[in-house]
Structure 1
Amino acid sequence: MKYVIGVDLGTSAVKALLVNREGRVCGEASRDYPLIQERSGYNEQDPELWVKATVEALRGLVSDTGIDGNDVEGMSFSGQMHGLVLLDGEGNALRNAILWNDTRTSEQCREIEAKLGKRLLGIAKNRALEGFTLPKLLWVKRHEPELFAKAAAFVLPKDYLRYRLTGHLAAEYSDAAGTLLLDVANRRWSEEIAGAFGIPLSMCPPLVGSEAKVGTLLPAIAGQTGLPEFMGVFAGGADNACGAIGAGILSEGETLCSIGTSGVVLSYRDSGDNDYAGKLHFFNHGKKDSFYAMGVTLAAGYSLSWFKETFAPEASFDDLLKGLEQTTAGANGLLFTPYLVGERTPHADAATRASFVGMDASHGLPHFTRAVVEGITFSLKESLELLRDAGHDIRSLVSIGGGAKNETWLQMQADIFGVDIHRLESEQGPALGAAMLAACGCGWFESLERCATMFIKRSKTFRPNARQAERYADLFRIYGQVYENTRQLNEELSAFRTS
């Protein structure tokens, strides 16, 4: 039996997935690592811990499954986007990695907007947001100039991990698209953007496709993991790109709804010539010569976790979600907006905050639970409507993450989104997408589409209920008014927040 491994480098843990040629998951292993939060808004990690955790996970995967390591033919990677790892001329990390959820760079974002104006969207296809990589580079350049002067290159998190395992430095398009330094449509580093801010193009690593073989394991890594030196290591992709691959989002009309801590609506595109005016993210896909547009709800599943821990800490999520079956659409006139940590799409407003609207004495825990779940889903529908307005023909969605674990919530998604919702038989997320890239890189399949027919199965479809869909359309219209009617109030209330 031959295998490939997909490695997903997440924000809190790394996951390694062992998959055979039939697409069956034969084993998995994970190891976690801590965040470093020196002050409010700062989120960093020690990149050496990524390497240590990955080596341990791979060693555990081989040991626990009892396979012969020589039967593993390839490995590829998925990873958290936007993080900055600075390397010196010897390839050593100069400082902790600054992560995607670090918000210290607001001043640098305004600098980028002021200097580039509309050219930024024309080239990088995305607005300047704190999470992206270029603002982080500019922050280090300004606040740590001596360290920046030593920097010979920057890499993204999973690319650093791959470099440490193989000794070969490279970036691939889907992750590079999240730096604000890539000419997304033309798939090359932008000399114009880099030059505007004094970033030498020599700092940008060589670009390759997601299925490209970038090397083999270093002898020391092979010895520590039990994997062979000759095993092919492939470039991989950004976590959202790999998540899309692992859900089969590989052609026009295919769209993904992912409800985890944050929420994502992601839709495939063949062309890089789309203009979303900065309302949506637009990135290169892990599939060759392809792209995707994406809207983000910052506090999707997080809103439900916060609600449970605050108001029903003793309840399990399953028990809490029974409230969906005990209530009707609209939660008896109660609405929730999931803006606990600000919002990304469609408002891009860091100052806005969440609201319950319409509370009265008739509302109990089940109504509040339903309002939270409906609010999360309404927020994702706002991204869906932006995609539709931009010409995406959305015929159905694949739902993954926490929102796909409860059938009542899946039916709610069908009713609110107004399309069929597909659930996957076995959901493995970005790690499976990385494994699929390795499988194609090894020559097992002629294309990701062919690989998907073997690796991905849909288990159940939820179709919209016409009466419920009509009711939710009326509620969504009301929901859409809450942001504008609370925006000024939230700005004024910010003066009273202590953290």
Structure 2
Amino acid sequence: MNYVLGIDLGTSAVKIALVNQHGQVIDEVSKDYPLYHEKSGYSEQDPDDWVNKTIEGLTEITSRYSGSVSTIEGLSFSGQMHGLVLLDEKQVPLRRAILWNDTRTTKQCHDIEEKVGEARLLSITQNRALEGFTLPKILWVKEHESTLFQQVKSVLLPKDYVRLKLTGKLHMDYSDAAGTLLLDIKNRTWSSEIIDILELPPTIFPELVESTAFVGHLSDEIVRQTGLSHDLKVYAGGADNACGAIGAGVSEQGQTMVSIGTSGVVLSFEQNADKDFGGKVHYFHHSVPDSFYSMGVTLAAGYSLSWFKDVFAKDESFEHLLAEAGEVPVGANGLLFTPYLVGERTPHADSTIRASFIGMDSSHKRAHFVRAVLEGITFSLNESIDLFRSYGKEIDHVISIGGGAKSHVWLQMQADIFNARVIKQKSEQGPAMGAAMIAAYGCGWFESLKQCNDTFLEVEQSFEPIPENVNQYQQLFHLYQAVYGQTKELNQGLSLFRK
């Protein structure tokens, strides 16, 4: 029996899965690292923390592995998107990485749209200029840390830096490059037009490769540290959302996935680059060769629930809170929550908007608030599904992964709010599994990623929408949609008081 490794470099931890040829996870490990918030809206990490924890995790898995390490034949990556890693001529980070959820770059987004032009930017990149993307971060550093910026020799995304330190090879795959706002999506090249307009040095952008591309072997030093084989093959890997989609089986037309982690994602497979959503959702290269995906994002999905738990139920388990919410009827007795804790992405690209509880009264207990948080997160995700449907996409089933797939209460809520069958996978490993599947395909175990899906993935349970709940949620969804417009101006005023 042979094995592959999938490495998922997340926002809070690196997760590593050892997977056999039947798709079974034989061993797994997770290693946390710190997140730095020096100012409101700032979010950074030390790139070398990612590398050190990845090496620790690989070493731990190898130490427990009883077989010959030569049977671990492939490795690939999934990584948090958009994060900016700046390297000097010796490939050493010049500063902490600025992460996807950092919102300091509103001015730079305006500058991009003014200089490039909104229509032209959409034509080239198929995406709007938003604070989360990489390009505004580059311009922020160029403007605020100009001396440091003059030393920049390479721009990478998080997983690319880890791969560089494991292999000595410097690349970026198309699925992650599509999230920089610098990729010409249709022509599959860095946009020389955008680079020239914004006066960036073109040499800092690395060679582009497919997610499934073989990029090299582990360095001698990494082999020594981890105990892995010199012969292990390393494949480029992809953006976490693309890998999460592969790990959930979203690798062909007609498939849609909802992922609830720190952020929340609604992702739908696209065969071609010719769909036009007018910039209302993201449009990126998939890690499945020659394909794409459209994606709506809720910035604070699972984060809204973890925030509530930390503030109001620190000593309670998530399982207890979710069970408590299951005892509360649809609509949480007239209580609504909007999950705008850190702004919002889809359909409101707004870094100033903030969360609200609407309709509180003295009858509400903690369980009502928990239910309202879950419903608010799911309503936000449904805004993306509603938008996709308005453009003619048929969505009759949704694959749910992440934290939202761990609770039957939440899975049924998703089915009722989405008005679609919601599918839970038997072994849901998310992006780490997607990375492992890329490695399995690269090693020649399967002729396609679709064939790998059919072997690795199995449905555990389906949740059908309950008509009565669907009707109630459709009414509540319209009320939820009204909250943004009615609180936008209030939050703009309140933003002056945020430190």
TM range (shorter): over 0.9
Alignment RMSD, CA only? 1.5
For residues 69 and 14 of structure 2, what CA distance do their matches in structure 1 show? 20
Cα shift readout 1:428-460 (whole Å, capped 9, x = no counterpart): 110100000000000000000000111111100
Cα shift readout 1:190-227 (whole Å, capped 9, x = no counterpart): 11111111123221111110110001111111111111
How far the C-alpha of 1:165 sits from its partner, in A, is 1.1
- Unmatched tracts of structure 1, length 5 or more: none
* Matched residue SS, 2:22: coil
How far the C-alpha of 1:308 sits from its partner, in A, is 2.5
For residues 394 and 15 of structure 1, what CA distance do their matches in structure 2 show? 31
Cα shift readout 1:404-437 (whole Å, capped 9, x = no counterpart): 1111211111111011000010111101000000
Change in CA separation of 1:37 and 1:478 when aligned onto 2, cut-off 3 Å: closer
Amino acid at match of 1:284: H
Cα shift readout 1:356-400 (whole Å, capped 9, x = no counterpart): 222222222222222221111111110111111223221210111
Cα shift readout 1:56-108 (whole Å, capped 9, x = no counterpart): 11111111233321111110001111111222233332222222222222221
**Is 1:109 equivalent to 2:74 in the alignment?**
no
Task: Report matched runs for 1:68-147 at 5 Å.
Answer: 68-117=68-117, 118-147=119-148
Task: Answer yes or no: is the 8 Å Cα contact 1:254–1:395 preserved in 2.
Answer: no
Change in CA separation of 1:45 and 1:317 when aligned onto 2, cut-off 3 Å: closer
Change in CA separation of 1:37 and 1:467 when aligned onto 2, cut-off 3 Å: closer
Change in CA separation of 1:322 and 1:51 when aligned onto 2, cut-off 3 Å: closer
For residues 225 and 106 of structure 1, what CA distance do their matches in structure 2 show? 42
Amino acid at match of 1:490: N
Amino acid at match of 2:457: I
How far the C-alpha of 1:478 sits from its partner, in A, is 1.5
* Matched residue SS, 1:74: strand
Amino acid at match of 2:125: A
Which residue in 2 is equivalent to 1:49?
49
For residues 469 and 265 of structure 1, what CA distance do their matches in structure 2 show? 19
**Is 1:66 equivalent to 2:66 in the alignment?**
yes
TM, length-normalised to structure 1: 0.97
Amino acid at match of 1:397: V
TM, length-normalised to structure 2: 0.97
* Matched residue SS, 1:150: coil
How far the C-alpha of 1:170 sits from its partner, in A, is 0.8
Change in CA separation of 1:308 and 1:160 when aligned onto 2, cut-off 3 Å: closer
Change in CA separation of 1:309 and 1:99 when aligned onto 2, cut-off 3 Å: closer
Which residue in 2 is equivalent to 1:378?
379
* Matched residue SS, 1:198: coil
Cα shift readout 1:142-164 (whole Å, capped 9, x = no counterpart): 22222222222211111111111
For residues 311 and 85 of structure 2, what CA distance do their matches in structure 1 show? 36
Amino acid at match of 2:276: D
**Is 1:299 equivalent to 2:327 in the alignment?**
no
Which stretch shows the higher mean deviation, 356-365 or 60-69? Answer: 356-365
* Matched residue SS, 1:275: coil
Which residue in 2 is equivalent to 1:354?
355
Which residue in 1 is equivalent to 2:457?
456
How far the C-alpha of 1:285 sits from its partner, in A, is 0.4
Which residue in 2 is equivalent to 1:160?
161
Task: Answer yes or no: is the 8 Å Cα contact 2:427–2:458 preserved in 1.
Answer: yes
Which residue in 1 is equivalent to 2:319?
318
Which residue in 2 is equivalent to 1:15?
15
For residues 482 and 127 of structure 1, what CA distance do their matches in structure 2 show? 24
How far the C-alpha of 1:337 sits from its partner, in A, is 1.4
Change in CA separation of 1:52 and 1:311 when aligned onto 2, cut-off 3 Å: closer
* Matched residue SS, 1:19: strand
How far the C-alpha of 1:344 sits from its partner, in A, is 1.1
For residues 43 and 328 of structure 2, what CA distance do their matches in structure 1 show? 39
Amino acid at match of 2:153: A
* Matched residue SS, 2:150: helix
For residues 300 and 287 of structure 2, what CA distance do their matches in structure 1 show? 26
Which residue in 1 is equivalent to 2:178?
177
Amino acid at match of 2:152: A
* Matched residue SS, 2:130: coil
Task: Answer yes or no: is the 8 Å Cα contact 2:14–2:50 preserved in 1.
Answer: yes
Which residue in 2 is equivalent to 1:225?
226
Task: Answer yes or no: is the 8 Å Cα contact 1:62–1:68 preserved in 2.
Answer: no
* Matched residue SS, 1:160: helix
* Matched residue SS, 2:129: coil
**Is 1:186 equivalent to 2:187 in the alignment?**
yes
How far the C-alpha of 1:37 sits from its partner, in A, is 3.4
How far the C-alpha of 1:310 sits from its partner, in A, is 2.7
How far the C-alpha of 1:267 sits from its partner, in A, is 0.7
Which residue in 2 is equivalent to 1:27?
27
Change in CA separation of 1:313 and 1:13 when aligned onto 2, cut-off 3 Å: closer
For residues 474 and 102 of structure 2, what CA distance do their matches in structure 1 show? 36
**Is 1:470 equivalent to 2:471 in the alignment?**
yes
How far the C-alpha of 1:324 sits from its partner, in A, is 3.0
For residues 318 and 12 of structure 1, what CA distance do their matches in structure 2 show? 20
Which residue in 2 is equivalent to 1:337?
338
Change in CA separation of 1:161 and 1:375 when aligned onto 2, cut-off 3 Å: same
Task: Answer yes or no: is the 8 Å Cα contact 1:436–1:448 preserved in 2.
Answer: yes
**Is 1:253 equivalent to 2:254 in the alignment?**
yes
* Matched residue SS, 2:321: helix
Change in CA separation of 1:41 and 1:358 when aligned onto 2, cut-off 3 Å: closer
How far the C-alpha of 1:44 sits from its partner, in A, is 2.2
